[in-house]
Amino acid sequence: MNELELKYGCNPNQKPSRIYMEDGGELPIKVLNGRPGYINFLDAFNGWQLVRELKLATGLPAAASFKHVSPAGAAVGLPLSEVERKIYWVDDLDMEFTPLANAYARARGADRMSSFGDFISLSDVCDVATAKIIKREVSDGVIAPGYEPEALEILKAKKKGAYNVIEIDPSYVPAPTEVKQVYGISFEQGRNELKIDEHFFDHIVTQAKDLPKQAKIDLAIAMITLKYTQSNSVCYVKGGQAIGIGAGQQSRIHCTRLAGSKADNWFLRQSPKVLGLQFADGIGRADRDNAIDLYIGEDYMDVLADGIWQKTFRVKPEVFTREEKRAWLAQMTDVSLGSDAFFPFGDNIERAHRSGVKYVAQPGGSVRDDNVIETCDKYGMTMCFTGIRLFHH
């Protein structure tokens, strides 16, 4: 098969639509179930590249949760803690968690609101444990290099049999140049084949030089994630998973703030106050996510005043005060931060510090590099200059 007709393009009025190989060769994918659309394939192909590179860089199974051609989450298959199982809503699953299942639970769980209705990318053959997690989440589809027979049957039954399941040939190598059209005009460029490994972070420019193995892994996850995130973009990573991604912002400080707020929410979900919330019977996972977002946000007092809490909780939750949230967030440490282009001002580092960032990777090259380095030194952060920009559009 060298072409596949799609229902429509980005929007229903954009017809005809298809994916095809310009050289007339075979498409490197098989649609095993469903009818993926234009945006589904954009998410699938970008996500596949991301998890493939994460696997190559870390040696661990990887998963990504994509929405609108940017990752909402990405992670490698390290074990889940008991707290993580609880905040990712998988603590009730009576099964053995495989490394791939851990990777997807973490990729999906870090920013569950953004991941709602995601397209999933898996670096390895989808196993039954991973399929069981996917089965219970609101998702548009999945791409992987293969599927265990039982896992495939589980996925085929999702969405009344309409769930999109794509198998990609892991040996496929794309052409060294890529072409796209905008307004009838063709753009051509060499593919971004940059390899990111532990030596990518050798050029340390701060007074602090400590960069442990886990920090190198986390920085690699950050930079590979940014490689497939719409620019401008910033990514916070801790313990092998992205915990905050800021994508597509025109200002870098807004990227840093957006990603930082997501990282903060990830950590606030682990606080005793949030873990102690008592939900009313029958409240689904998505509604719980929304309720938690309101609870840890600035609008919770309005929720209390309007009495909305009675529909969601069995017991009226105590207010999570600003002072309590600050005290809890002060315990978040050893976070890694990557940026797809240089930080033009030290304000990005100031904001990153508030979310426990200790390790930073960025291209460098700003006329204010000295100010950015000085701000890192003030907080004892380790920062490396990669010398490589990672814009993605």
Same domain, 280 and 374: no
Residue 132 and residue 251 in one domain: no
Domains in the chain, number = 3
Beta-carbon-side half-sphere exposure of residue 216 (alpha carbons within 13 Å):
16
Position 348 in a domain: yes
Cβ-contact 103, 135 below 8 angstroms: no
Please state, in angstroms and rounded to a whole number, the distance separating the CA atoms of residues 274 and 311.
17
The domain of 222 spans 196-268+331-385
Considering the domain boundaries, does residue 308 fall inside one? yes
Alpha helices, DSSP H, located in 158-284: 213-227, 252-268, 272-275
Indicate which CATH number applies to the domain containing 144.
3.40.140.20
CA distance 188 to 201: 30
Give the span between the Cα atoms of 213 and 198, in whole angstroms: 8
Per-residue pLDDT of the chain (393 residues; tens, 9 = 90+): 788 999 999 999 999 999 999 888 899 999 999 999 999 999 999 999 999 999 999 999 999 999 999 999 999 999 999 999 999 999 999 999 999 999 999 999 999 999 999 999 999 999 999 999 999 999 999 999 999 999 999 999 999 999 999 999 999 999 999 999 999 999 999 999 999 987 899 999 999 999 999 999 999 999 999 999 999 999 999 999 999 999 999 999 999 999 999 999 999 999 999 999 999 888 889 889 988 988 888 766 666 656 667 778 888 888 899 999 999 999 999 999 999 999 999 999 999 999 999 999 999 999 999 999 999 999 999 999 999 999 999
Same domain, 238 and 369: yes
| CATH code of 295's domain | 1.10.287
3-state secondary structure 207-221: CCCCCCHHHHHHHHH
Same-domain check for residues 213 and 341: yes
For residues 127 and 242, membership in a common domain is answered with no
Active site residues: 67-68, 232, 393
Report yes or no on 184 lying in a domain: no
Question: Is the domain of 312 the same as that of 341?
Answer: no
186 neighbors 163 (Cβ within 8 angstroms): no
Residues 244, 115, single domain; the answer is no
> Are 88 and 218 in a shared domain?
no
For residues 26 and 81, state if they share a domain.
yes
Q: Indicate if 232 and 378 belong to the same structural domain.
A: yes
Residue 278 shares a structural domain with residue 356: no
